[in-house]
Amino acid sequence: MNEERANEEFRDRKERGFSIGTLKRDFNPFSRLSAQDKINFARHLAIVIKAGIPLYEGLVIINKQSDSKTLTRIVAQIQKDVANGRFLADSLERFTGVFGDFFINIIRVGEASGTLAQNLLYLADELKKRKGLRAKVRSAMVYPVVILVATIGVTGFLTFFVFPKLLPVLQGLNVKLPPSTVALIAVVDFLTLYGIEVIIGLAILIICLRILTTKVASIRYAFHRAMLGTPALSKFSISLNVVSFSRILALLLKSGVKIVDALGITALTSDNLVYRNIVQEADEEVRKGGQLAPFLAKYPKFFPPLMTGMIQIGESTGNLTENLEYLSAYYEEEMSYKLESLTGLLEPALLLMMGLLVGFVAISIITPIYSISQGVQ
């Protein structure tokens, strides 16, 4: 009865518009809250609530020990709202751009069902896993980025510092220069004349692409679809989205959210528009009385047969939450292997590119010098 009452309250607030960020946001859009600050906020709030401390007093304690100025300003506003009788989740709606719908709705269900402390601990654990996943991806990309930067640095040094000093000597000897040297001279001359314009043009191009892929839904969808279809990236990207889907849906179901509401929230938390659209369609199917697994099975490329099979078993036996947790752990481990494979492909490719670029510049410089020395002999 408690869970049913919580879901009725959740749907009632959703119909009144609270769960989709309709309240005015009293927050500077340029401020950011780190993942660790969100983890600390959820964990500390769970501790004070479990200790029996009233919510307002708990927020005062959290605010005093916070080192983040951004979090301090947010908690100060939440304190005022709670003092005026507003629910915690409703107050957090002001900061939807900071916390996101997933964070807020987990708290909303916890308030409605009386399991706020437990839900906050679930939330802190999920945020910690997300942070670890991002850290894993970033650390895997460190070496390829170092190689790329080293390639640009060495090539730039040879092209713009070493080569220009030798160029007057080569031109003064009136010898026929090899094609690679002629091409390098043309590149240096062009960048000397139009280098600033090229840099500005590249910056504008990157900014425009960034805006188009984040603001224009059709272009963003095409970009995400292309990522899922790129041979080197597709397996890793699919695993990443599958892990996110199964973990978030499991957490929402564990927190007491009915599946018809949990699917809608899960869809909104997906960064990939392809997966977001599929999950939203699955939500509509489940609301009509259908089952989740048969619908997801229509997209075997994005939801592997193992996953849809486990979900079908979970729906049949009532163990959907446990099966989703197992799937998230399984695909996270699989994603780690695929991430290693991806970086294993990137590293030799970047090393080859570095060798070709540096070799081209070195040959362009050394070949005419060698020809001149042979002529002198």
Query: What CATH number did the domain enclosing 347 receive?
Result: 1.20.81.30
108 and 136 inside one domain: no
Residue 303 gets which letter from DSSP?
S
- 124 within some domain: no
How many independent structural domains does the chain possess?
2
The predicted pLDDT at position 31 comes to 52
Average pLDDT of the segment spanning 72-80:
89
Domain residues for the domain of 305 are 130-377
For residue 18, CA distances in Å to 9, 13, 21, 44, 287 come to 11, 6, 6, 25, 20
Higher pLDDT, 202 or 30: 202
34 and 170 inside one domain: no
The predicted pLDDT at position 277 comes to 93
Domain final residue, candidates 87, 114, 141? 114
- 21 within some domain: yes
Q: How far apart are CA 368 and CA 351, in angstroms?
A: 26
CA angle 364, 367, 373 (to 5 degrees): 145
83 and 166 inside one domain: no
The predicted pLDDT at position 352 comes to 83
- 193 within some domain: yes
Asked if 89 contacts 108 with a C-beta cutoff of 8 angstroms, the reply is: yes
Asked if 315 contacts 296 with a C-beta cutoff of 8 angstroms, the reply is: no
Q: How far apart are CA 40 and CA 42, in angstroms?
A: 6
45 and 186 inside one domain: no
- 122 within some domain: no
194 and 292 inside one domain: yes
Q: Is 196 exposed, middle or buried (0-12, 13-18, 19+ CB in 10 A)?
A: exposed
- 42 within some domain: yes
157 and 80 inside one domain: no
12 and 46 inside one domain: yes
* 308-344: pLDDT as tens digits: 999 999 988 888 989 998 998 888 888 878 777 777 7
Q: Is 189 exposed, middle or buried (0-12, 13-18, 19+ CB in 10 A)?
A: exposed
- 121 within some domain: no
35 and 142 inside one domain: no
Q: Say yes or no to pLDDT of 30 above 60.
A: no
pTM score of the predicted model: 0.69
Quickly state the pLDDT bin for 11 (edges 50, 70, 90). Answer: low
134 and 89 inside one domain: no
Q: How far apart are CA 125 and CA 110, in angstroms?
A: 15
Average pLDDT of the segment spanning 220-240:
84
- 119 within some domain: no
Task: Of 333, 326, 323, give the one whose Cα is nearest residue 292.
Answer: 323
- 123 within some domain: no
The predicted pLDDT at position 173 comes to 63
